[in-house]
Structure 1
Amino acid sequence: MDKKQIIFNCGWELFHSKGFKDTNISDIAKMAGIAVGTFYNYYSSKERLFFEIYIKENEKFKKRIVESLDMNQDPVTLVRQIVEQNIGAMNSNKILKEWYNRDLFRELEHYYEEVKGDDDSIRSLYTGLFKKWKAEGAIREDIDDELLPAFFDSLAYIDTHKEEIGIRHFPQLIQYLAEFIMKGLTDFKK
Structure 2
Amino acid sequence: MDTKEKLLNSAKKLFSKKGYYETRVSDIVADAGLSQGAFYLYFKSKEDIFIELVKSMSNKVVKLLKDYASMEMDPEEVIKNSTFDFFRVMYEERPIAYIFLFQLVGTNEKFRKLYMDKNKKVRELLHIIVEKGVKSGVFSYKNTENIVNILMGYVRIVYLEYLLKDNIPLEDILSLVSEGIDVILKGVKG
TM-score (norm. length: structure 1): 0.68
Structure 1, gaps ≥5 residues long: none
> Which residue of structure 1 lines up, in the alignment, with residue 90 of structure 2?
90
8 Å contact 1:75–1:182 — kept in the other structure?
no
1:108 and 1:79 map into 2 onto residues whose CA distance is 29
1:54 and 1:129 map into 2 onto residues whose CA distance is 25
Q: Which amino acid counterpart does residue 126 of structure 2 have in structure 1?
A: Y
2:116 maps to 1:117: yes
> Which residue of structure 2 lines up, in the alignment, with residue 60 of structure 1?
60
Call closer, same or farther: CA 1:118–1:105 in 2, change over 3 Å.
closer
TM-fit CA distance, 1:74 = 1.3
The count of residues paired between Structure 1 and Structure 2 equals: 176
> Which residue of structure 2 lines up, in the alignment, with residue 173 of structure 1?
176
8 Å contact 1:29–1:35 — kept in the other structure?
yes
**Equivalent position to 1:14, from 7, 10, 13:** 10
8 Å contact 1:65–1:82 — kept in the other structure?
yes
1:48 and 1:107 map into 2 onto residues whose CA distance is 16
Call closer, same or farther: CA 1:112–1:82 in 2, change over 3 Å.
farther
8 Å contact 1:11–1:50 — kept in the other structure?
no
TM-fit CA distance, 1:59 = 0.2
TM-fit CA distance, 1:180 = 2.1
Q: Which amino acid counterpart does residue 172 of structure 1 have in structure 2?
A: S
Call closer, same or farther: CA 1:17–1:98 in 2, change over 3 Å.
closer
Structure 2, gaps ≥5 residues long: none
Call closer, same or farther: CA 1:59–1:74 in 2, change over 3 Å.
same
Q: Percent identity?
A: 16
Call closer, same or farther: CA 1:153–1:75 in 2, change over 3 Å.
same
1:1-190 pair list within 5 angstroms: 6=3, 8-16=4-12, 20-22=16-18, 24-30=24-30, 31=32, 33-35=34-36, 39=40, 42-45=43-46, 47-64=47-64, 66-67=66-67, 71-91=71-91, 93=92, 96-98=93-95, 101=98, 104-110=100-106, 111-115=110-114, 117-120=116-119, 121-141=121-141, 143-154=142-153, 155-162=155-162, 167-168=168-169, 169-184=172-187
TM-fit CA distance, 1:122 = 3.1
TM-fit CA distance, 1:89 = 1.7
